[in-house]
Amino acid sequence: MHIKFCGAALGVTGSCHLLMGGGHKILLDCGQFQGGKQQEAQNFDEFPFDPKEIECVLLSHAHIDHCGRLPLLVKRGFKGKIYCTDATADLLPVMLKDSAYIHEKEAEWQNRKNERAGRSPVEPLYTIKDSEEALKLTFPVLYDQLFKINDEMEAVFNEAGHILGSAITEIWVKEKAGENGHNENQENGKGKISKIVFSGDLGVMDRPILRNPKIIKKADYLIMEATYGNRLHPKNSASIDELLDIVIKTTDRGGTVVIPSFAVGRTQELIFEFNRFYEENQQYKEKLDKLNVYIDSPMATTATEVFKKNAQVFDEETKEYILKGDNPLDFKNLKFTRTSDDSKALNMNREPKIIISASGMCEAGRIRHHLKHNLWDPKSSVVFVGYQAEGTLGRNLLNGLKDVTLFGEEIHVNAEIYDLEGFSAHADKEGLLEWISGFIKEPKQIFLVHGETDAKVDLAAAIKEKLGYDTVTVSGISEFELEHGELLSKEEALADALDEETMETIRKRIADVHEHIEKSLYNTSLSVGSEISPKKMVDINNIVLQLEKASMSLGSALTDRDEQN
Q: What is the pLDDT of residues 511-561, one digit of tens each?
A: 777 777 777 766 666 566 566 777 777 777 777 777 776 776 676 666 665
Do 459 and 451 meet the contact criterion of CB atoms below 8 Å apart?
yes
- Residue with the bigger pLDDT between 438 and 492: it is 438
Give the chain's mean pLDDT. Answer: 89
**Residue-level length of the chain:** 565
Q: Which of 460, 462, 484, 458 is nearest to 472 (CA)?
A: 460
- The pLDDT tens digits for 434-456 are 999 999 999 999 999 999 999 99
Q: Residue 185: pLDDT band by 50, 70, 90 thresholds?
A: very low
Is the model's pLDDT at 358 over the cut of 60?
yes
Is the model's pLDDT at 50 over the cut of 60?
yes
- What distance in Å separates the CA atoms of residue 52 and residue 323, rounded to the nearest whole number? 47
Q: Which residues pair with 356 in a beta bridge?
A: 259, 295
- Phi/psi at 156 (5° precision): -140, 140
Do 58 and 34 meet the contact criterion of CB atoms below 8 Å apart?
no
- What distance in Å separates the CA atoms of residue 551 and residue 543, rounded to the nearest whole number? 12
CA 404 to chain centre: 30
Do 433 and 446 meet the contact criterion of CB atoms below 8 Å apart?
no
pLDDT at 557: 64
Taking each continuous run of H as one helix and of E as one strand, the counts in the chain are: 18, 23
- The pLDDT tens digits for 134-167 are 999 999 999 999 999 999 999 999 999 999 999 9
In the chain the first and final C-alpha atoms are separated, in Å, by 26
- Residue with the bigger pLDDT between 499 and 108: it is 108
pLDDT at 497: 62
**Cα–Cα separations (whole angstroms), residue 306 to 169, 454, 540:** 22, 36, 17
CA dihedral 531, 534, 537, 542 (to 10 degrees): 180
- Rg value, the chain, Cα: 25
CA atoms within 13 A on the CB side of 426: 25
Do 203 and 162 meet the contact criterion of CB atoms below 8 Å apart?
yes
- What distance in Å separates the CA atoms of residue 8 and residue 450, rounded to the nearest whole number? 5
- What distance in Å separates the CA atoms of residue 124 and residue 439, rounded to the nearest whole number? 44
CA atoms within 13 A on the CB side of 254: 4
Question: Looking at 22-26, 466-470, 532-536, which range is the least confident one?
Answer: 532-536
- What distance in Å separates the CA atoms of residue 480 and residue 260, rounded to the nearest whole number? 39
- Residue with the bigger pLDDT between 35 and 466: it is 466
- Phi/psi at 119 (5° precision): -100, 165
- In the DSSP assignment, the letter for residue 314 is B
- Phi/psi at 27 (5° precision): -105, 140
**Rounded to two decimals, what is the model's pTM?**
0.83
Q: Which of 373, 395, 439 is nearest to 217 (CA)?
A: 439
pLDDT at 189: 55
Question: Looking at 160-164, 186-190, 343-347, 542-546, which range is the least confident one?
Answer: 186-190
